[in-house]
Structure 1
Amino acid sequence: MASRHHRTALAVTATLLTLTTAVGCAAVDKAMDCVRTADAIATSVDNLQQAISDASNDPTQASEALDQIDKELKDLGDTTDNADLNKAVDDLQAGVTNVRDSIEKGDATPDITPVTDAATEIGKVCTP
């Protein structure tokens, strides 16, 4: 009887360890996805800043940078349920929309401060 109890206890312990490891790995994977995406967003925001600076040379660069940020935001939004991160993603999306609207209205130097601020916030939230 003691041997059977011992085997059952070992099986339960092994199952719990497996579940903990699986959940732990999923959390680590999610955090790494967040970090990678935050880094990609930071790169795209840098590209946007450069494109705005060079708008007279190639006005399509800003639009391409905004498209890339949109794609990365969708990827990030699909991988998280963190309220702070969701707010930062929403803020960044609003900033991107405002910059895009400004460019479409002919503003050669739109204010990208909300975009850079929200991207910074995403970087903070995604830092482990």
Structure 2
Amino acid sequence: MPLRPRRPGRPATAALAASAAALLAISLLAGCGAVQKAMDCTRAAGSVVDAVDKLQQAAGHALDDPQQARQALDSVESNLRKVGNDTGDPDLAKAIHTMNKGITNARRALDRNQVPDVQPIADGAGDMAEICTPG
């Protein structure tokens, strides 16, 4: 049985493909931390936005049921704490600061039997969602 003639360049093509695969794997691993961080940010922002939605609903009935509003504030604050511990982004830190300030003011209003202004908290949540949205 005669041997087939060897095609020139085949070992070079295999080596080139292996090198390209190795470079791709290295670049993917290097970017993995950034991708994971973005995914964590998006997930956390979603949790905060959901908590703020509940807060807005509770704020409308704050004089009738201030405990529900306090629980909603606690939920937002808890979610913010999780996000704040992991952020190094200055824009995200600013949004968290705005929201925390709004939470403090809302608690003061509840303590005075007033309807809390939750708009600064909602604005901060909107900023956070925008910051954490990839693209």
* TM-score interval, smaller chain: 0.7 to 0.9
Uncovered stretches (5+) of structure 2, i.e. residues with no partner: 1-17
Q: Which of residues 99, 116, 120 in structure 1 aligns to 2:106? A: 99
What is the Cα deviation at residue 37 of structure 1? 0.9
Distance apart, 1:50 and its partner CA: 0.7
Larger radius of gyration: 2
Provide Cα deviations, 1:37-63, integer angstroms capped at 9, x if missing partner.
111111111101111112344321111
Would you say 1:118 and 2:124 are equivalent positions?
yes
Gaps of 5+ in 1: 1-9
Determine if the alignment matches structure 1 residue 25 to structure 2 residue 32. Answer: yes
Aligned residues: percent identity? 41
Structure 2 residue matching 1:96: 3-state secondary structure: helix
- 2:62, 2:116 within 8 Å by CA — same for their partners in 1? no
Partner letter of residue 93 of structure 2?
Answer: N
Spell out the pairing of 1:1-128 with structure 2 (5 A cutoff): 14=22, 19-107=26-114, 109-128=115-134
C-alpha spacing 1:69/1:110, structure 2 compared with 1 (3 Å): same
* SS of corresponding position for 1:78: helix
Q: 1:97 to 1:23 in 2, by over 3 A?
A: farther
Residue 36 of structure 1 deviates from its aligned partner by 0.8
Question: Whole-Å Cα distance in 2 between the matches of residues 64 and 44 of structure 1?
Answer: 10
CA distance in 2, matches of 1:22, 1:96: 39
* CA distance, structure 2, for counterparts of residue 17 and residue 100 of structure 1: 51
**1:18 Cα offset (Å):** 5.2
CA distance in 2, matches of 1:89, 1:23: 28
Aligned length: 117
CA distance in 1, matches of 2:86, 2:30: 15
